[in-house]
Amino acid sequence: MLSWKRTKEEGLRPVRATGRAAMELTGGSIFLVVLLVTIFDVSLIMFGVQVNDRACREACQAAARQTTSEKAMAAARETLAQQKINNQFVENPTLLFDPVNFLYQDGNATVTVTSQCKVKLPVPLICFGPETEGGITFRKRYTLPIESRQSPEK
């Protein structure tokens, strides 16, 4: 394909078009799409971590205000039930109530709560590995002193 280029000496002269601008535009567009998808995935990950952290902290604070293990478990469940999010990519946080992840220690006067939240990535990132097909699961653990057992300060 020929295009015309104006020069001072010769006037208009034919020049062969190489398509370099089209190749640069295509390469730049592909780079921008990959960058935008990565930014979207990372922002979803950050949102999921923040939601899980807040839910675990509030559940642990509610459990720390109770006097027995059963009441602490019920308070943590009730607090977490209020942490509903309506998002197709970030699941609602859940508490882990097995003996390792939920500890109400009378002798040590502490309560430990663990929560988890799963984030589904719309476009799985290769850098997180093949196990990210179903999503990434984040866990958070908080340990707080039991407030009902603390002695009043004088």
Strands (E), 51-152: 94-96, 103-105, 110-119, 136-145
Reading the chain (154 residues) residue by residue, the pLDDT tens digits are 556 566 666 666 666 667 778 888 999 999 999 899 889 988 999 999 999 999 999 999 999 998 888 999 999 999 988 888 888 899 999 999 888 888 888 778 889 999 999 998 887 766 656 555 678 889 999 999 988 655 555 4
Rounded Cα–Cα distance for residues 103 and 105 (Å): 6
Angle at 44 between CA 139 and CA 39, to 5 degrees: 130
pTM of the full structure: 0.74
